[in-house]
Amino acid sequence: MKYFIITGTSRGLGQAIANKLVNPGHHLFCISRKRNDDLISRSMHGNIDYYEFDLNEANQIEELMQAIFSEIDPSRAEAIYLINNAAVISPLSSIEQAESRELARNLNVNLLAPMILTSLFIRFTQPLQIEKRILNVSSMSVKNHLSGMSAYSAAKAGLDVFSKCVGLEQGEGASAVKVVSVWPGIIDTSLQEEARNADKSTFASAGIFAKVHERGMLVSPEATAKKLVEFLLGESFVQGAVIEEL
């Protein structure tokens, strides 16, 4: 059995990744605040466990991971994967207009939660001599800086550096967990919608997102998920890498 822990599966890219991974040889642990009944209805013999969980609640992540790992049968596990996909784009404003609560949520969901999940994943899988991989969904916002998106860009840059550092710590030993950050491209999801519909008076870059949409440059979540899943399960998953283009 291959086990997958996936965050942000209620919609967008996370939902498409989960849909792609549902098959009888896989067991999925899906995490988001809103439960995805459509996804759950595709479960085969109970191979999807859904956790309605707010990743902003950093202090409760350990309990969540304990619950997930109590469902994993080490004797049947041939591989285990963590996909840190959940993210929030807001606050979409210059930094002096951003509310501290929104800034904290951005950093909690986009950076702190993946760090804690990674830490617990490595700890809990330590005794398992099987394939263990973590895919962190990052963004080209690390390099393409836009006015009004400093928190998102900073969190994703942090995620990339974190992936490199943990990759270095884990190294290439038999029980190493491989960690990779990926920039998935621009995808037609509600995150894009939120950016292009944001108030132009506070988010100067809204027009750029509107143009990208108008010009048909957004890729479907399904097409992106296909590439990401192939990458996750494939041979080019190189320890500590940051993949800028799939």
Which residues have a catalytic role annotated? 152
Quote the crossing angle between the two packed helices 12-21 and 221-233, to the nearest 10°: 50
Is the peptide bond prior to 91 cis by the omega test (within 30 degrees of 0)? yes
Which of positions 139-168 make contact with ligand NAP (CB under 6 A)? 139
For residue 244, state whether it binds ligand NAP (rule: CB under 6 A).
Answer: no
For residue 114, state whether it binds ligand NAP (rule: CB under 6 A).
Answer: no
For residue 107, state whether it binds ligand NAP (rule: CB under 6 A).
Answer: no
Q: Which is nearer to ligand NAP, 82 or 191 (CB)?
A: 191
Q: Which stretch binds ligand NAP (CB under 6 A): 54-62, 96-104, 171-179, 236-244?
A: 54-62
Per DSSP, the residues of 205-232 read THHHHHHHHHTT-PBPHHHHHHHHHHHH
For residue 11, state whether it binds ligand NAP (rule: CB under 6 A).
Answer: yes
For residue 109, state whether it binds ligand NAP (rule: CB under 6 A).
Answer: yes
For residue 213, state whether it binds ligand NAP (rule: CB under 6 A).
Answer: no
For residue 192, state whether it binds ligand NAP (rule: CB under 6 A).
Answer: yes
- End-to-end CA gap in the chain: 27
In this structure, are strands 242-243 and 178-182 parallel, antiparallel, or unpaired?
Answer: parallel
Q: What are phi and psi of 131, to 5 degrees?
A: -70, 130
Q: Which stretch binds ligand NAP (CB under 6 A): 63-71, 115-123, 181-189, 230-238?
A: 181-189
Retrieve residue 146's tokens.
Answer: 């836009």
For residue 48, state whether it binds ligand NAP (rule: CB under 6 A).
Answer: no
Whole-number Å distance between alpha carbons of 27 and 19: 12
Q: Which is nearer to ligand NAP, 139 or 150 (CB)?
A: 139
Q: Which is nearer to ligand NAP, 33 or 164 (CB)?
A: 33
Q: Which is nearer to ligand NAP, 77 or 210 (CB)?
A: 210
Report which secondary-structure segment, H or E, holds 180. strand 178-182
Whole-number Å distance between alpha carbons of 159 and 137: 9
Whole-number Å distance between alpha carbons of 173 and 184: 28
Q: Per-residue x/- mask for ligand NAP, residues 26 to 45, rule CB under 6 A?
A: ------xxx-----------
CB of 36 to ligand NAP, least distance (A): 8
**Residue numbers at the binding site for ligand NAP (CB under 6 A):** 7-14, 32-34, 54-56, 85-88, 109, 137, 139, 184, 186-187, 189-192
